[in-house]
Amino acid sequence: DAKTTQPNSMESNEEEPVHLPCNHSTISGTDYIHWYRQLPSQGPEYVIHGLTSNVNNRMASLAIAEDRKSSTLILHRATLRDAAVYYCILCTDKLIFGTGTRLQVFP
Amino acid sequence: DAEITQSPRHKITETGRQVTLACHQTWNHNNMFWYRQDLGHGLRLIHYSYGVQDTNKGEVSDGYSVSRSNTEDLPLTLESAASSQTSVYFCASSESVPEGNTEAFFGQGTRLTVV
């Protein structure tokens, strides 16, 4: 399974946009890029996924580089509830988690 | 509403005992997964199943087993519990659409302590 690299932690202020980066230089053509987040004491929660094109949903946007070797999860206006660990995962049939990025949101 | 439930939510057991953690989903998903998460770490895949009678080993399968007799359930059994298996266990399920092009739904977790 191809690996991803994410910063250990990031900080944001409430109501500001947040860009969470992910590098995946060994991605294969069939790997989907998934993002999940895990709030304290909860199970992971699906955020968004994509293959080649940028994706938007009610929670976030996913920007995928043209060569697919990196991607960015965009939270348009961070709230305190967005404080969580965010996992970037390459998936063909199962999710293999890395260590993720811990996002802190300050009032 | 469809859901995925794990039971029990908390369990304390003794070293050497057999323990079974339950996972039940009502989405009729073919794919089911078991993960463990240790303090300060990400989730590690234990076992997974793509359908009834199908089971596969994940990254950390030693000491664990699963069986899939129906679509809704994937129980995880610790054959002889060890202190190293103290962890939080998460179950997940997903549709078997084109591989990778689907979201997974996770349970709330089972906190297992082996003393």
DSSP 8-class letter at B114? E
Q: Which residue has the tokens 């590690």?
A: B44
Could you say which of A34, A92, A94 has the minimum Cβ distance to residue B33? A94
Choose between A1 and B19: higher pLDDT.
B19
Question: How high is the mean pLDDT of chain A?
Answer: 93
- Is some CB atom of chain B closer than 8 A to the CB atom of A35? no
Indicate the range of A45-49, A56-60, A63-67, B96-100 predicted with least confidence.
Answer: B96-100
Residue-wise pLDDT for A12-24, tens only, equals: 999 999 999 999 9
Using the beta-carbon criterion (under 8 Å), do A43 and B109 form an inter-chain contact? yes
Closest CA–CA distance from residue A44 to any residue of chain B (Å): 6
Residue-wise pLDDT for B2-57, tens only, equals: 799 999 999 999 999 999 999 999 999 999 999 999 987 789 999 999 999 999 99
Residue-wise pLDDT for B63-111, tens only, equals: 999 999 999 999 999 999 999 999 999 999 998 765 678 889 999 999 9
Interface of B with A (CB under 8 A): 31, 33, 35, 41-45, 48, 50, 58-59, 90, 92, 99-101, 103-109
CA–CA distance, B38 with B113 (Å, rounded to integer): 11
DSSP string, B14-83: -TT--EEEEEEESS--SEEEEEEE-TT--EEEEEEEEETTEEEE-TT-TTEEE--SSSSB--EEESS--G
